[in-house]
Chains A and B, each alone.
Chain A
Amino acid sequence: MIPPSIYKVLPPIFAFLALIGFWEFGVDYFDVPQYVLPAPSAIGAAIADHWQSLLRHSGVTLVEAVLGFLLGIAVGLPLAILISCSPWLERTIYPLLVASQSIPKVALAPIFVVWFGFGLLPKVLIAFSIAFFPVVVNTVVGLSRTPPDMIRLMQSLGSTSVETFLRVRIPMATPYIFAGIKISSAFAVVGAIVGEFIAATSGLGYLQLIANNNLEIPLLFACLVLLSLIGAVIYYAVVLVEHLILPAPLRSQENDEARR
């Protein structure tokens, strides 16, 4: 018996393998120089040669991204709850928050380096400053999505507004909250890398700069492979948590499939 999920997994795997094949063949056929585009085999060889240092620098970037990401959730969620509970905060803080998004967060990186030095902290803070916004906005939107009749029903049953918040509004918002968290998980890696580009002594962004200066282009691409792996690891960790804590009708994945 072949599980039906195979039919969903196989096509992208084949497409991926075909793409790698074309790439390998194309680089060879058109004689593309390695400093322009290394072949997948050359990238693989670079990973094999440098695996120890790649692993070490990946660990640094992963820690920066994860800390920034978790900090984004830890600050973003309570802030969003406060904003949606207080019309006053919604009128004062929330517009400022939205307006602050016109600042390119990447441009904050040099300033953070000046303030916080070359270590872990500025990277975590840059990752945080990018990651926390999607959490806040999605949570605020999600908390306002409870149908008014549902709230009236709870009132008529004698539920207090705190009870209604915990029992109805928070669960109703969870699909939105997780959508925001997933966006943040990708943003956090961007933040960590940018921080490393500006000033760092370790991390994949730092390794990329070194590889670039030494014209070790396959190593540059190897860093890219590991970066996307880091992104995928954080993203699927979020999916796993979502799967563990949410009942089926609230999970975004299942709903996506149901809609198809």
Chain B
Amino acid sequence: MSETDELLAIADNKGASISIRNVGMDFARRGSVVTALEDVNLEIPAGTFCSVLGPSGCGKSTLLSLVAGLASPTRGTIALDGNPLTGPFHDVGIVFQSDVLLPWLTVLENVVLPAKVKKLNMEQARTTGRQLLRDVGLHDFCNHYPGELSGGMRQRASICRALLAKPSVLLMDEPFGALDALTREKMQQDLNRIWAEDTKTVLFITHDIEEAVSMADQVIVMSPRPGRVLRRYSIDLPQPRTPAVRRDPFFEETVDDIRNLFHEAGVL
């Protein structure tokens, strides 16, 4: 079985569970030590959508780098499916706030970039890439350059790129932060639909309370620096979510509660 077949064979799994235990992270900055994260404990079951919500500079993005294995924690351990992380974790798809598409590659070539770097079967990758782009309504733009697309379309393409190699974990670092309000809401619905069709573990970082609650199964609220977990909410609303979720009393209650929590923490 080739590597690609293997990847397709595990495509139907529910992703990997993420367990973060007693994690702390320090940075040396201009001689002094800055603590970005302190004593963070999280259990994210396989196949759940988890939003991490916090004010700017609370170490949310640091947390994402740690889970991707791009940095290692100063204290504590991170394990995926029970295996402690020791280096970069490649079975992951990352979406950043900026789309970071390569401007000289067409949209389709950008989407199949993971296959190219991982030296997978390109023929198959292009088929999958086209399918993913069709799913998000970008099929007619396969051969366009990113510069010819709007911000929302580019971010859609970068989500397709993150999904291409069927990663068991999807990490999203404020992916819709740079988009206008309407585009953002549409993207939230699309992402929720894509995720519901092929559930995998999602770690979604945001500072938008409604955004966090409307999509996620669980919401982790973080404190200002040094980032600690303030509270954990289970959002027991049926998936996939519809726009009507925002009018649900439970939704409104949770959003209010988080707002109060931020108020107490001095963020709002």
B102: nearest residue on chain A (CB-CB)? Answer: A168
A251: nearest residue on chain B (CB-CB)? Answer: B104
Q: How far is the CB of A87 from chain B (nearest CB, A)?
A: 16
What is the CA–CA distance of A163 and B146 in the complex, to the nearest angstrom? 22
Tell yes or no: A248 within 8 A of B by CB.
yes
Q: What size tier do the contact residues of chain B reach?
A: 20 to 34
Are B145 and A248 in contact, with the CB atoms below 8 A?
yes
Tell yes or no: A31 within 8 A of B by CB.
no
**B-chain residues with CB within 8 Å of residue A250 when the two chains form the complex:** 103-104
Interface of B is mostly: loop
Stretch in contact with the other chain, from A4-12, A47-55, A154-162, A176-184: A154-162
Which of chain A's residues 113-171 have a Cβ closer than 8 Å to chain B? 147, 149-150, 152-159, 163, 167-168, 171
Tell yes or no: B118 within 8 A of A by CB.
yes
Tell yes or no: B90 within 8 A of A by CB.
yes
Tell yes or no: B65 within 8 A of A by CB.
yes
Are A249 and B147 CB-contacts (below 8 A) given A147-B100, A153-B94?
yes
What is the CA–CA distance of A209 and B7 in the complex, to the nearest angstrom? 74
Tell yes or no: A258 within 8 A of B by CB.
yes
Are A155 and B70 CB-contacts (below 8 A) given A171-B102, A249-B103, A258-B147?
yes
Are A157 and B104 in contact, with the CB atoms below 8 A?
no
**A-chain residues with CB within 8 Å of residue B147 when the two chains form the complex:** 249, 258
Are A153 and B100 in contact, with the CB atoms below 8 A?
yes
**A-chain residues with CB within 8 Å of residue B94 when the two chains form the complex:** 152-153, 156
Q: How far is the CB of B240 from chain A (nearest CB, A)?
A: 27
Are A249 and B100 in contact, with the CB atoms below 8 A?
no
Are A158 and B98 in contact, with the CB atoms below 8 A?
no
A-B contact count (CB 8 A): 54
**B-chain residues with CB within 8 Å of residue A155 when the two chains form the complex:** 70, 88
Are A153 and B104 CB-contacts (below 8 A) given A158-B88, A158-B118?
no
Q: How far is the CB of A61 from chain B (nearest CB, A)?
A: 36
Tell yes or no: A95 within 8 A of B by CB.
no
What is the CA–CA distance of A159 and B162 in the complex, to the nearest angstrom? 15
Q: How far is the CB of B16 from chain A (nearest CB, A)?
A: 15
**B-chain residues with CB within 8 Å of residue A248 when the two chains form the complex:** 145
Tell yes or no: B114 within 8 A of A by CB.
yes
Are B104 and A156 in contact, with the CB atoms below 8 A?
no
B97: nearest residue on chain A (CB-CB)? Answer: A149
Are B98 and A156 in contact, with the CB atoms below 8 A?
no
A159: nearest residue on chain B (CB-CB)? Answer: B117
A157: nearest residue on chain B (CB-CB)? Answer: B117
Q: How far is the CB of B117 from chain A (nearest CB, A)?
A: 4
A147: nearest residue on chain B (CB-CB)? Answer: B100
Proximity string of chain A (103-120) to chain B, C-beta cutoff 8 Å, 1 when within and 0 when not: 000000000000000000
Are B145 and A152 in contact, with the CB atoms below 8 A?
no
A248: nearest residue on chain B (CB-CB)? Answer: B145
Are A147 and B70 CB-contacts (below 8 A) given A156-B90, A157-B113, A158-B90?
no
Tell yes or no: B68 within 8 A of A by CB.
yes
Are B70 and A149 in contact, with the CB atoms below 8 A?
no
Are B114 and A171 in contact, with the CB atoms below 8 A?
no
**A-chain residues with CB within 8 Å of residue B98 when the two chains form the complex:** 147, 149
Q: How far is the CB of B203 from chain A (nearest CB, A)?
A: 13
**A-chain residues with CB within 8 Å of residue B89 when the two chains form the complex:** 156
A-B pairs, 5 with minimum CB distance: A149-B96, A157-B117, A150-B100, A249-B103, A247-B104
